Amino acid sequence: MKNPKNSQIFNITEEGRVERLDVFLSKVIGISRSQVQKMINAGLVLLDNKIPKKTGEKLISAKTIEVLSEKLLVEGDANSVTTKALSKKKLAKLEVLAETDDYLVINKPAGILVHPTQAMEKNTLVASLLAKYPEIAKVGDSERRPGIVHRLDKEASGLLVIARNQNSFEKIKKQFKQRKVEKIYSVLVYGNLVKDYGIIDFDIDRGENGRMVSRPKIDKMKLKNVNKIQEGKNALTEYWVEKRYKRFSLLKIKIHTGRTHQIRVHMFALGHPVVGDKLYVNKKLVKKGDQVLDRLFLHAKHLEFTDLQKNRVSFEKNIPKNLKDYLDSLV
């Protein structure tokens, strides 16, 4: 039955209590389970008047399920619904380093996604941005990524520029495409690099298991190398060793391309994976007594681009305290 809030309420019978939330709704609404999961993750489903903890939550003791109009998803209004759903929770705080009519420069903390993935996560940087700067909702080329010109991995931190209008979005995006934006990172890796300075130009591709892959370039003309050829897109990473530790190296890294997981993949391929990386990891390099870092030691500390007034602007943000403390613990 429909209620005044333009939602639909389902009473859960004894038979229904053996089901998962997403399976139950898929059956009663008549849509795919993946569509149901997107609705749940977008905050469009309430279980006994509460936001479910997960899409597969058991209905053992539940009584009612409330589903907001699916039309909201079709009209692309999921972001606003998500922000409202999160009003009962604590959104990530924004550290704004610069605020103009055309753009924002944000220091993203580690542990938060920049924007929702296909799973439609609710607590993202985008949700925080929409709550404070609702005008960015229609900026960009994707409703899921309003105002987002570039990204940082969830467990990385540092500087991001957010476009506040479409003109700014197009102009800054073009600079990224033309490689006119300067991005510099502080990165701690395992091992000691042979050279104090180097350039990594290994191509990067997506592997069969979904993660990115890369390996040093080889002579493709030699028959013995046929099975070693790494296909993929060109990628260029420049690094400087800033400090050497017994088993680690602190690097300053400048990327000239913006491939997915570029720094992490390149350093892994070079044999020096990033500390704290759980995806691109060489377990032989991790010692039993090592301090555990619950994030990537990867921080975007410098960002430079040209604004709409054709002025070159640059921003700096040093590594956060938890990374400083980690360095202090090394010998």
DSSP secondary structure of 239-258:
EEEEEE-SSEEEEEEEESS-
Q: How far apart are CA 45 and CA 35, in angstroms?
A: 12
Beta bridge partners of 205: 213
pLDDT score, position 230: 54
Encoded amino acid at 205, one letter: D
What pLDDT does residue 149 have? 96
The residue-averaged pLDDT of 195-214 equals: 88
Contacts with 259 (C-beta within 8 Å, 6 or more apart), sequence order? 204, 212, 233, 235, 265
Instruction: Give the E-state strand segments of 125-267 in sequence order.
Output: 157-163, 182-190, 197-200, 204-206, 212-214, 237-244, 248-255
pLDDT higher than 50, residue 219: no
DSSP string, 89-126: S-PPPP-EEEE-SSEEEEEEPTT--SS--TT--SSSHH
Is the pLDDT reported for residue 89 higher than 70?
no
Phi and psi at residue 91, to the nearest 5°? -75, 155
Domains of the chain listed by start with CATH number: 7-75 (3.10.290.10), 96-177 (3.30.2350.10), 182-328 (3.30.2350.10)
252 vs 227: which has the higher pLDDT: 252
- Position 155 pLDDT exceeds 50: yes
Q: Higher confidence at residue 310 or residue 214?
A: 310
What separation in angstroms does the CA of 166 have from each of 104, 207, 208, 242, 282? 13, 34, 36, 39, 42
Average pLDDT along the chain: 85
Phi and psi at 159, nearest 5°, equal -80, 135
**Residue 196 pLDDT more than 60?**
yes
pLDDT at 16: 75
Q: Which of the pair, 4 or 92, is modelled with greater confidence?
A: 92
Highest-confidence segment of 5-19, 62-76, 91-105 = 91-105
The alpha carbons of the chain give a radius of gyration, in whole angstroms, of 23
Q: State whether residue 136 is helix, strand or coil.
A: helix
Calpha distance 252→241 (Å, rounded): 6
Q: Are 202 and 214 in contact (CB under 8 A)?
A: yes
pLDDT higher than 50, residue 242: yes
Q: Whole-angstrom Cα distance, residue 264 to residue 302?
A: 18
Confidence of residue 224 (pLDDT cuts 50, 70, 90): very low
Crossing angle of helices 125-132 and 78-85, in 10° steps, is: 90
pLDDT of residue 6: 55
Q: What is the pLDDT of residue 229?
A: 52
Whether 262 and 237 have beta carbons less than 8 Å apart is answered as: yes
Q: Taking 60 as the threshold, does the pLDDT of residue 227 lie above it?
A: no
Residue 304 has pLDDT above 90, yes or no: yes
Residues in the chain: 331
% the chain with pLDDT above 90? 58
- Residue 50 tokens read as 């509460």
Burial class (CB in 10 A: 0-12, 13-18, 19+), 234: exposed
Give the C-alpha separation, 239 to 319, whole Å. Answer: 17
Instruction: Check the CA dihedral 188-189-191-197 and report its sign.
Output: negative
Residue 231 has a pLDDT of: 66
Write down the pLDDT at residue 75.
38
Catalytic residues: 153
Is the pLDDT at 225 greater than 80, yes or no?
A: no
**Is the predicted pLDDT of residue 223 greater than 80, yes or no?**
no
Of the candidate ranges 3-7, 71-75, 134-138, 241-245, the one whose mean pLDDT is the lowest: 71-75
Measured between alpha carbons, how far apart are the two ends of the chain, in Å? 66
